[in-house]
Amino acid sequence: MEFKSINQLKSLLDENKISVKEIAQTYIKKIKEKKDLNIFIYFDEDKINDQVKEIEKLPNNKKLKGIPIAVKDLFCTKNMPTTAASKILENFNPTYESFVTQKLINEGSLFVGKTNLDEFAMGSATNTSYFGNTINPLSNKDTPLAPGGSSGGSAAAVAADLCLGSTGTDTGGSIRQPASFCGVVGIKPTYGLCSRWGIAAFASSLDQAGIFSKNVTDASILLEEIAGYDERDSTSSNVSIPNYSKQLNSDLNGKTIGIPKEYTVDGISDEINAVWDDAIKSLEKKGAVIKYISLPHTKYALPTYYIIAPAEASSNLARYDGVKYGFRADEAKSLDEMYEMTRSEGFGKEVKRRILIGTYVLSAGYYDAYYLKAQKVRKLIANDFIEKFKECDLILTPTAPSAAFPLNEKQDDPIKMYLNDVFTVPASLAGIPGISIPYGKDKSGLPLGIQLLGKHFDEQEIFNAAFALEKDYE
């Protein structure tokens, strides 16, 4: 049995045509059947059934009652382990819920498990996880494909129909790129719209919780529920949250869509350009005005990101030392040795690489040359968007430079892996919202995504445009 949308399943529940228990059994069966994809780090049938008993007691007006949701294993969950896909947190059981997961629980969500990710969200293929690679459900038998990253498990869970929605985090593209690779919808909200409290930190000035779903309407429903002000998060914005799903419309008459010339880069496939062009033409037919624009500092986005993000990571990950919780090396003979061995054995290669880069750019003699300069460039990138949004309502770009690639294709070349974020990083540095929706396929039949970017806290605008474009493929 396949459920196509949250509203469809909610209607069946409201009409007593299906029970929460039956929903749970349906998805338990599906997850077991597709366990070889290694989508879930944590899956416990008994825990799901325990949730069912509690959810059944809730009134039907709970917006997400019985809706199966997968949770990226970066969000703290009180009754489930939280590992960040790292050995160093292998046995960590939080005593509290993250802001986002608590809000989903409050509305009756059914958590089906914790999804795999790149260790501490550092990666673009879900291939740095201590718990092994996640395989893209769209792979053929001969060639396992990467689901993207870092939220590859969450994107794959939706694509494999193991849930109706999932949580992810986006630091430099970690929702939008896997959404493109797996052929699902993925939204990174404005920085500060969703509280970061209870999410294992990678780069605090960039990390933002978001959503994967089968369609734009479901994404809008779920974002309504996880957004909101939280006084425990100093970066949380106290803004009113619109009823995105109720205000969805496909009227683009008079809307101006910016097309940045800097997103036409060397190495992008003709198929990506063709899909981008198709979306431009479709927007024109729907009444939008197309305006070609320049975001001149975009070319500096990747190096800027890969200075700032590792710098913040080196600071955030200093707390993992084996003293209070998590993995601790057994054979250390002194406190210093315990710190060194715990961190050496507990972190994977990519995490250690980024910690070292971050420590270097923050060190005496290099702080001004690298980190401070990167922060100044970040401001220039953000200003580019602010200025162009005076002329445009939205900006349209490709999501990723290619379709999903073979699982281990770029594993030994971190630079090639980092280039997967070339279209997503600028929006992250600027803190603006972005959504990726599937819009066409390559010659192998793999999905290709397009990205819509909007003004700060103007998620409604990008939802509406995505909703309009989505109708092309209904």
Q: What confidence score (pLDDT) does residue 412 get?
A: 66
Domain assignment present for 362 = no
The rounded distance, in Å, linking the Cα atoms of 275 and 159 is 20
Is 159 domain-assigned?
A: yes
Catalytic choice (151, 154, 174, 213): 174
- Biggest CA–CA distance in the chain, Å, is 71
Does the active-site annotation cover 174? yes
Average pLDDT over every residue of 208-224: 98
What are 237's two structure tokens? 């914005």
CB 265 within 8 A of CB 421: no
Any domain includes 412: no
Residue 292, SS3 per DSSP: strand
Give the C-alpha separation, 263 to 294, whole Å. 9
- What is the structure's pLDDT at 269? 83
Of 109, 129, 150, 436, the active-site residue reads 150
Residue 221 lies in a domain: yes
Provide the pLDDT for residue 409.
80
pLDDT at position 168 is: 98
pTM for the full model? 0.97
pLDDT of residue 142: 87
pLDDT in tens, 277-317: 999 999 999 999 999 999 999 999 999 999 999 999 999 99
Q: What is the pLDDT of residue 144?
A: 96
Phi-psi region of 261 (alpha: psi -120 to 50; beta: other; left: phi over 0): alpha
Counted domains in the chain: 1
How high is the pLDDT of residue 194?
Answer: 98
- CA dihedral sign, ordered 39, 41, 46, 51: negative
Span 61-87, pLDDT tens digits: 999 999 999 999 999 999 899 999 999
Q: Does the structure show a pLDDT above 70 at 227?
A: yes
Say whether pLDDT at 417 is over 80. no
Mean pLDDT of the chain: 96
Q: How far is CA 288 from CA 19, 331, 453, 469, in A?
A: 44, 65, 15, 12
| Separation of alpha carbons 199 and 217, rounded Å | 25
pLDDT range class, residue 325, cuts 50, 70, 90: confident
CA distance 259 to 291: 6
Residues contacting 20, CB < 8 A, separation 6+: 13, 52, 55, 56, 65, 66, 110
Looking at the domain assignment, is residue 333 inside a domain? no
> Residue 13: pLDDT above 80?
yes
Is 72 assigned a catalytic role? yes
Which of 72, 114, 188, 410 is labelled catalytic? 72
pLDDT interval class at 340 (50, 70, 90): very high
The pLDDT of residue 474? 65
Of 136, 158, 159, residue with least CA distance to 149: 136
Cβ atoms of 332 and 301 closer than 8 Å: no
88 assigned to some structural domain:
yes
Residue 408 has pLDDT above 90, yes or no: no
Residue 396 placed within a domain: no
CATH of the domain at 239: 3.90.1300.10
Inform me whether the pLDDT recorded for 115 exceeds 80: yes
Read off the pLDDT of each residue in 201-211 and give the average, rounded to a whole number. Answer: 98
Mean pLDDT of 124-146: 95
Q: The domain containing residue 224 runs over which residues?
A: 6-248+432-450
Q: Per the domain annotation, does 257 fall within a domain?
A: no
